[in-house]
Amino acid sequence: MTKEIANQLRAKDTYFSSFDKIIVYYDYGQVELAQILVSVFNTMFSNVEFRKIETNQYKLSQAADLICTVEAIAQKTILTKSESEFFHSKNEFRKNIYKNIAKKKL
């Protein structure tokens, strides 16, 4: 996971380097992931600050969680039973959900 996060950040190095400061918001719900994020960001960038998500940032956190969930579902070849009930089919999911979120990618 560390290598993949680092690879994704390297691919967007120009974007991240354009900022005076990079602020990473995280709820520290998974200690291991928090350690990876701190390690990778601090190794790659000198202008990083980590902040624990507070209640007033909760909606942003929910939006980020939704996007991550949609991306994870898009990577699957077969939907679970509950995903199929919710989205109806992989094609419906891609057409109605994923297409709109994918347009917003950096």
- 98 pLDDT band, cuts 50/70/90, is very high
Using the predicted structure, report yes or no on whether residue 29 has a pLDDT greater than 80.
no
Task: Give domain limits for the chain.
Answer: 1-52, 55-106
The alpha carbon of residue 43 and the mean position of all alpha carbons in its chain are separated, in whole angstroms, by 19
Closest Cα to residue 100, out of 67, 60, 78? 67
- Mean of per-residue pLDDT scores for the chain: 89
Using the predicted structure, report yes or no on whether residue 56 has a pLDDT greater than 70.
no
Using the predicted structure, report yes or no on whether residue 31 has a pLDDT greater than 90.
no
pLDDT at 92: 93
| Token pair 């600050």: residue | 49
Mean pLDDT of 81-85: 94
